Amino acid sequence: MRSWSGFMIIILLLPIFSLLVFAVSAESQKVQGFHELLDEKLEIKEVSLPQTSYIKAGNGQVISEMDHPVNRISLSSGDISPFLKDVFITAEDQHFYDHAGFDVAAIGRALAINIQSDDIEQGASTITQQLARNIFLNHEQSYNRKLSELLYAYELERKLSKEKILELYINAIYFHNGAYGIEAASQLYFKKSAKDLTKAQEAFLAAIPNNPSLYDPMKHFNHTKERQERLIDQLKEEQLISPKEAEKMKSERIQLQVKQRIDLYPDYVSYVEAELRELISVKEGYQDKLLKAGEQEKASLSAKLDKRISQIMEQGIIIETALNPALQEKAANSLNKRLSYKDVEGAAAVIDNGSHEITALAGGKNYKKYNFNRAFQAYRQPGSAIKPLLVYAPYFEHTSAVIHDQVNAGPFCKNGYCPQNYGGARYGSTTLEKAFIYSYNTPAVRLLDDIGIENGFRDLDKFGFKKVTDKDHALSAAIGGFTYGMTPLELTSAYTVFANDGYYQPARAIRKITDLKGKLLYSWDDSKTQVWSEKTIEKMRNLMARTVQSGTARKARLPFGYAGGKTGTTNGYHDFWFVGLTGQYTAGVWVGKDRPGNLAAIESASPQLLIWKDIMSD
């Protein structure tokens, strides 16, 4: 009954629709009203197809093809060969240039066949209908959908030229294995652009969309080849090619060269995608609204931001980054090499001092894309690695002390808080230099107490650590006691202040975002913030250099050039840190377990120092 009722609806409505369409000259006012109704209901303003987006390294190399939602590279009509157009018109819609979006005779034939079989076996869809289905509808086999398809096809024919419709169709159709459009298909199956295909290869690819699963050339090559030859015979019958040319095309050997999707450096790419969201959020005003919103409004704003990002991605963009592939490989390889211990993980970040760009980011051993990325998602206690930022630099800035001034390294207690030096060691009076390079704890707490906790945190706040809270404003923070801590990337970014005369600027991976034609869409415009004076920075660089030369970071010493930094170890040996800088780069390394656990057994190996040295060595 369902089928018969559907047939009756089609039979009744089709003549009415046809009369409305073809009575333009005699009943122009009435048809204009019908057109206005279609315009109101269908709203076809602009027809665009989702395209592949790309992430590029600093050297211009494509490192990721972002084919969500689809892998498509659109071509203009002029870049699609006339032969390929002939193939599709011959195979799918021989009256393409004559109809107004649908073929009444073909629909009649299909209805007869479907009535006979009591099912929807033949659709008689024109190229325009197929385009309408791909863009606006789904592939459900129902009469409601078919009627919608007719209306959309008619609207497309009213608003677009035949040339544009054919261009969109050839770019829209599915060629299986994730490829949409002829260019993506050509690159996938033959590793070359569609403009470089032979006619035989074009006909071979044109065989796929009619039934992508059946004509999948990877699984059913023979089926695809047989349909290719049938298409060539059709072209011959239509006298679009000569018999000799047809035989030559059929005899040409078709050899697939399947291209693997580009998806390199997953640690870095995962971060770039996160930074993309942040950049769009900032530039389009979402970030300010999210900061002020309640929980319910945040969820709504976040959903809107997700939708906006999808819209931007679908138009096809190029994300140009600062990735240095050689440094990235060094960082990833060193983590795997130096952290052979069970359950021990690590992360590393490398930032160019001059440009403030993130040049490498390692999120863990054998990192897989979208896994937990420890480089920017792991918030860990910083241990003594926080001392340069929260204690020593603020102390020099507020007191004008020099590195050889004395400080008490003996026991300290205040309001019940009694920190210990490493191993419970007790010291007397010592220099600021010695207290720093050997990472004594009690002097650091004393210094923060001397200048005032709020003064220290006023400086620290300028680095924008996301999870430093008011609860952290305590003396225990001087030796790394934070509620949540900070990520390796955050801490490394903060240390760039020591390479830039006391000025801080957030580190970014993304240089700019353009459309596929190179038009600038987004870029960061961060400003520099002066945190400390050049005199303070000079003292800090001196202390950090001494730490590498003869202090706790001796294993990170480089054969030439400046190298300075600070180690950090947290209570219970849960985290090992080293953040340091050379003339060109600042790099931070964290080593620990995802579920914090005692790592005393590997402390003497100092893997964090060796990883840093691997990355920074030429």
The residues that are catalytic are 92, 384
- SS3 for 396-408 is HHHHCCCCCCEEE
Residues whose CB falls within 8 Å of the CB of residue 319, separated by 6 or more in sequence, listed in order: 53, 54, 55, 56, 272, 276, 510, 513
Task: Please answer whether residues 588 and 491 qualify as being in contact, where contact means their C-beta atoms are separated by less than 8 angstroms.
Answer: yes
Closest CA to 534 of 495, 493, 503: 503
Task: Please answer whether residues 399 and 451 qualify as being in contact, where contact means their C-beta atoms are separated by less than 8 angstroms.
Answer: yes
Strand 575-581 versus strand 564-569 pairing type: antiparallel
Task: Please answer whether residues 501 and 459 qualify as being in contact, where contact means their C-beta atoms are separated by less than 8 angstroms.
Answer: no
CA distances from 423 to 32, 426, 452, 577, 605 (A): 89, 9, 27, 18, 18
Residues whose CB falls within 8 Å of the CB of residue 616, separated by 6 or more in sequence, listed in order: 556, 558, 563, 580, 582, 585, 587
C-alpha dihedral sign at 161, 163, 169, 172: negative
CA distance 32 to 202: 41
Query: In this structure, what token pair is assigned to residue 435?
Result: 């207290």
CA distance 609 to 557: 9
Residues whose CB falls within 8 Å of the CB of residue 150, separated by 6 or more in sequence, listed in order: 17, 101, 102, 129
Phi, psi of 529 (to 5 degrees): -120, 130
Query: In this structure, what token pair is assigned to residue 342?
Result: 């069970």
3-state SS assignment for residue 325? helix
The residue count of the chain comes to 618
Closest CA to 564 of 556, 574, 576, 572: 556
Q: How far apart are the first and last CA of the chain?
A: 78
Alpha helices in 23-117 (DSSP H): 28-42, 82-92, 104-117
- Cα angle 163-166-170, degrees, rounded to a multiple of 5: 140
Alpha helices in 173-293 (DSSP H): 182-190, 199-206, 221-237, 243-251, 266-283, 286-292
Query: In this structure, what token pair is assigned to residue 69?
Result: 């939602």
3-state SS assignment for residue 360? strand
CA distance 564 to 574: 24
* 607-616 helix and 325-338 helix, angle to the nearest 10 degrees: 160
Query: In this structure, what token pair is assigned to residue 322?
Result: 């600062």
**DSSP 8-state code for residue 315:** T
- Cα angle 362-366-367, degrees, rounded to a multiple of 5: 55
C-alpha dihedral sign at 383, 386, 390, 394: positive
